[in-house]
């Protein structure tokens, strides 16, 4: 009962937080959003309300009317028609890029060229080469670039990894990550099903899984052993329909020291018996099997709402941990969404302070590299790289 009440309180505070006054010195950073994207409220607008050093100042959309409607709804000062207009505004300090995956590269490069720091949505881009280029360009310009693997900033995930690293479950033998969503979450026209926009379950959900496998195992895969996938099948396939978007992807990877990892991601898992969601209860979990036991984290992507970390040691010992509050000395509150932790880290880096966690260049590149390797093995091939090149 107490934990149910705690959950309700946390969820309420997470999505309807009391705004804090903005700092006067230093002046808050002005964020601009490219696209009136659905994720923008949760990923930036709500978290910004409780960050004294952040103001969401501008939004740009392909149509002015859409940008204006979004700005009005969220109390944003400026609305721009076209993304370049926002980048041309000298008052914007940081750009949030939640465009479709295929456009991450082009608009992150343009934002960096305009001298803005960038919080870029996951996955980084369509390819590892593009990811490397973006980070190298950010370095050259002396700007901060962060790919929004928001789950990496939550203390519960840090504890999950700490248990693996402590040796309590012994040497890692296998890592399993599930990112399964029930059918009907996304319409057929969603960007996730559009190959030309960088769609696919592995891109959208599998990027978390690949990232989580590498993070928890503290090692890089050595090869892709096997893959199976189910293509996205539109209800009325066009004459030129190509089965190159994975609705579901499953892949097994080899890890060093004879360990393995399996990821399963699905954008639309069918209901069982026609009405019970296959993804019920949510299949968003990571599990590490070691020589001495196992540790499993339920809901590693949205841990603020609810999560559990279950440790089972061979021979019978079992315990469950929940970690909503950050460690002593680290910043955060139990109701902070992963996005709020992420925003704290982004601002700390921009301000030259040390963040409590980070996802660096090589981490982002390696995640993209293994996504491409899995696509290669599956026969679907990488998503199309952007044709954009920076003008000389």
Structural element, H or E, at residue 368? helix 361-378
Residue 30 annotated among the catalytic residues of the structure: no
**Given 30, 110, 122, 361, which residue is catalytic?**
122
From residue 323, alpha-carbon distances to 248, 327, 346 in Å are 31, 9, 22
Q: Does 201 bind ligand LJPVP2WV (CB under 6 A)?
A: no
Q: Does 204 bind ligand LJPVP2WV (CB under 6 A)?
A: yes
Nearest-Å Rg of the Cα atoms of the chain is 21
138 versus 201: smaller Cβ distance to ligand NDP: 201
From residue 310, alpha-carbon distances to 10, 159, 265 in Å are 21, 11, 22
61 versus 297: smaller Cβ distance to ligand NDP: 61
Residues facing residue 252 across a β-bridge: 226, 262
**Interface residue with ligand LJPVP2WV, options 79, 301, 347, 359 (CB under 6 A):** 301
Q: Does 355 bind ligand NDP (CB under 6 A)?
A: no
61 versus 261: smaller Cβ distance to ligand NDP: 61
CB of 294 to ligand NDP, least distance (A): 27
Collect contacts of 130-138 with beta carbons under 8 A, ≥24 apart.
130/104, 130/105, 130/368, 130/385, 130/386, 131/364, 131/365, 131/368, 132/361, 132/365, 133/105, 133/109, 134/104, 134/105, 134/108, 134/109, 135/361, 135/364, 135/365, 137/109, 137/112, 137/113, 137/390, 138/112
- Among ligand LJPVP2WV, ligand NDP, none, the one that 191 touches (CB under a kind-dependent 5 to 8 A) is ligand NDP
Considering only residues 111-130, where is the footprint of ligand NDP by CB under 6 A? 121-122
Part in contact with ligand NDP (CB under 6 A); list of ranges 60-68, 224-232, 242-250, 352-360: 60-68
Q: Does 35 bind ligand NDP (CB under 6 A)?
A: yes
Give the neighbor-by-neighbor strand order of the sheet with 29-34. Answer: 78-81, 54-61, 29-34, 94-97, 117-120, 145-147
CB of 28 to ligand LJPVP2WV, least distance (A): 26
Q: Which residues contact 48 (CB under 8 A, 6 or more apart)?
A: 31, 54, 55, 56, 343
- Beta-strand relationship, 223-231 and 246-255: antiparallel
284 versus 347: smaller Cβ distance to ligand LJPVP2WV: 284
Q: Does 39 bind ligand NDP (CB under 6 A)?
A: yes
- Among ligand NDP, ligand LJPVP2WV, none, the one that 94 touches (CB under a kind-dependent 5 to 8 A) is none
Report the C-alpha gap between 199 and 193 in whole angstroms.
Answer: 5
Part in contact with ligand NDP (CB under 6 A); list of ranges 35-43, 168-176, 251-259, 316-324: 35-43
- Please report, as ranges, the residues that interact with ligand LJPVP2WV according to CB under 6 A: 204-205, 301
Residues that bind ligand NDP (CB under 6 A): 35-39, 43, 61-62, 66, 98-101, 103, 121-122, 148, 150, 191, 197, 204
Point out the residues that are catalytic.
122
């Amino acid at each position: 009962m107490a934990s149910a009440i705690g959950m309700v309180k946390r969820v309420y505070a997470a999505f309807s937080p009391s705004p804090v006054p903005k700092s006067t010195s230093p002046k808050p950073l002005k964020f601009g959003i490219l696209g009136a994207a659905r994720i923008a409220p949760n990923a930036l607008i709500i978290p910004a309300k409780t960050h004294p050093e952040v103001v969401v100042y501008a939004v740009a959309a392909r149509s002015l009317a859409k940008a204006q409607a979004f700005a009005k709804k969220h109390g944003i000062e400026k609305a721009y028609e076209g993304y370049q207009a926002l980048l041309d505004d000298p008052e914007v300090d940081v750009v949030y890029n939640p465009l479709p995956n295929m456009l991450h590269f082009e608009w992150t490069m343009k934002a960096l060229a305009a001298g803005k720091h960038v919080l870029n949505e996951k996955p980084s881009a369509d390819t590892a080469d593009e990811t490397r280029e973006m980070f190298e360009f950010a370095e050259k310009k002396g700007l901060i670039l962060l790919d929004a693997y928001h789950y990496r900033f939550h203390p519960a995930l840090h504890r999950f990894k700490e248990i693996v690293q402590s040796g309590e479950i012994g040497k890692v033998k296998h890592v399993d990550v599930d990112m399964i969503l029930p059918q009907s979450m996304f319409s057929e026209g969603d960007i996730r099903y559009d190959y030309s926009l960088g769609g696919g379950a592995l891109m959208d959900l599998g990027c978390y899984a690949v990232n989580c496998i590498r993070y928890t195992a503290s090692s890089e895969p050595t090869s892709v052993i096997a893959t199976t996938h189910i293509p996205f099948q539109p209800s009325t396939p066009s004459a030129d329909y190509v089965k190159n978007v994975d609705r579901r992807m499953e892949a097994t990877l080899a890890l060093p020291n004879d360990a393995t990892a399996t990821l399963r991601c699905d954008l639309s898992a069918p209901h069982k018996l026609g009405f019970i969601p296959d993804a019920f209860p949510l299949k968003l979990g990571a599990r590490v099997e070691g020589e001495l036991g196992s540790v499993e984290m339920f809901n590693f992507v949205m841990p603020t709402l609810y999560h559990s970390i279950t440790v089972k040691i061979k021979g019978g010992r079992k315990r469950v941990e929940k970690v909503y509050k950050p460690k002593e000395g680290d910043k955060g509150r139990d109701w902070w969404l992963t996005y709020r932790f992420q925003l704290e880290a982004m601002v700390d880096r921009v301000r030259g302070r040390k963040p409590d966690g980070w996802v660096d260049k090589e981490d982002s590149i390696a995640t993209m590299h293994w996504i491409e390797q899995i696509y290669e093995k599956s026969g679907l091939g990488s998503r199309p790289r952007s044709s954009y090149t920076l003008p000389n």
